Amino acid sequence: MSRVGRRREWFREAAAVRIVHRVHRVVVMTTTGREHSVPGTGGPLDENEILAAVDQYVTEVGADVQGLWSRALDGTPDAVLGDIDLPARLARLTRNGGKRIRPLMCHWGFVCAGGTSEAGRDAAIRAGAALELLHTFALVHDDVMDESDTRRGEPAAHVLAAEAHRAVGAYGSPDRYGESIAILIGDLAHTMADALIATLPPRMRRLWFELNIELIAGQREDLSGAATGPGDLRRARRIARIKSGAYTVTRPLQLGALAAGADDDVLSVLESYGDEMGWVFAARDDLLGAWGDPRETGKPSGDDLRQHKPTTLRVEAQNHLDGPGLTLLERVGTTDERPGDVEALQDAMTRAGIRERAEHSISDGVDRAVTILHRADGVLHADGIRELVRMTRHIAWRTS
């Protein structure tokens, strides 16, 4: 295990954890009423320490939920799930990798706004932990809606629950049971996220509420687009902006900035940057969904093509593929799909220049986002600008 991996594991498993940053520390109350420490303001911040503090908050609220769960059920194991009940399954999901972009964006939003107070930093870390749990909620529910069998290279939550149902020979449909359990796991993640947000300042709570509405509205658009067709580029971009971009970049940045007491000028610049960078994030996600390496993404190659996701790539394919290509586009993901169809569709889209144009669009978006940051000198803190430029490039050309 790497040095970073060992550090994260230690923070997850320790019964009492203390994070000390330079010579400063701040003691805060967790959801269980216990005290712990978060990074102080004694020097440049280490992202690994921030993420470890996020993990600690997730672990704390998870332990609280586990205690309440056991008390409600008198500690009786479930007849199907056994000892690995919903809280334990959720804990495994939150520990299973992920890019952690959202809590990092929350942190760098705090820095961009010139945040210095220890209480403000704790609020940003708490919001980052809530964002990780919200993301887990979205992924678990998304896998049910998309009928995806894998997540991060492992069986999806609903698949594992269906396997447990089959293993004990339970009554009813294993698949329906698995989907129902996955929905409850997602609900539990959302409940835990809301618990972390509950004690934050009113402006942060209001933005959290707006973020949730945008995420659900985007998911509804995604489902409707898959059912009826993506429509035009304007609609596909809107789906990308509210379903992926806003809750990955814009809103996390603004949550962190609000933790620092940001004014409207800071929030406006972060929104402009977030709109550009959110699109870039979604566009890279779409490319990975169509051509990604399963060893990197943890999902089958071409998964979005099979699911008829209403992406800009699909709109481009409808507009630029010829007759045979359009036939493949409509056949993939249906009962008429033939072996090799996905690969043939990928090749047809590449030959039509769709992949190349998407890459150019991402590069243009990066240029616009970086320009916004450089022009914000004097509005955003220099440390935050520097790190967001780095994050911009990392997000744009990631492989998973």
The range of the structural domain enclosing residue 256 comes to: 3-396
pLDDT at 150: 85
pLDDT at 346: 97
pLDDT at 139: 94
- 264: exposed, middle or buried (Cβ count in 10 Å: 0-12, 13-18, 19+): exposed
For the chain, what is the domain count? 1
Residue 400 and residue 347: Cα distance in Å, rounded?
Answer: 21
Is residue 208 within 8 Å of residue 233, measured between CB atoms? no
Residue 64 and residue 157: Cα distance in Å, rounded?
Answer: 22
pLDDT at 232: 83
H or E stretch at 318 = helix 312-320
- At 265, which CATH number? 1.10.600.10
Tell me how far CA of residue 399 lies from CA of 96, 191, 266, 298, in angstroms: 17, 31, 31, 11
Residue 205 and residue 203: Cα distance in Å, rounded?
Answer: 5
Residue 286 and residue 305: Cα distance in Å, rounded?
Answer: 10
Q: What is the pLDDT along the chain (400 residues), one digit of tens a residue?
A: 444 344 334 333 332 333 333 323 333 344 444 444 444 444 445 789 999 999 999 999 999 999 999 999 998 999 999 999 999 999 999 987 678 999 999 999 999 999 999 999 999 999 999 999 999 999 999 999 989 898 887 899 999 999 999 999 999 999 999 999 999 999 999 999 999 999 999 999 999 999 999 999 999 998 998 888 877 888 888 888 887 889 999 999 999 999 999 999 999 999 999 999 988 999 999 999 999 999 888 888 898 899 898 899 999 999 999 999 999 999 999 999 999 999 999 999 999 999 999 999 999 999 999 999 999 999 999 999 999 999 999 999 999 8
> What percentage of the chain's residues is helix, strand, coil (to nearest 5)?
70, 5, 25
The owner of tokens 């809590």 is 103
pLDDT at 297: 86
Residue 291 and residue 267: Cα distance in Å, rounded?
Answer: 35
pLDDT at 1: 47
Q: Are strands 35-39 and 25-29 parallel, antiparallel or unpaired?
A: antiparallel
Question: Per this entry, what is the length of the chain?
Answer: 400
Within 10 Å of residue 63's Cβ, how many Cβ atoms?
17
Residue 196 and residue 199: Cα distance in Å, rounded?
Answer: 7
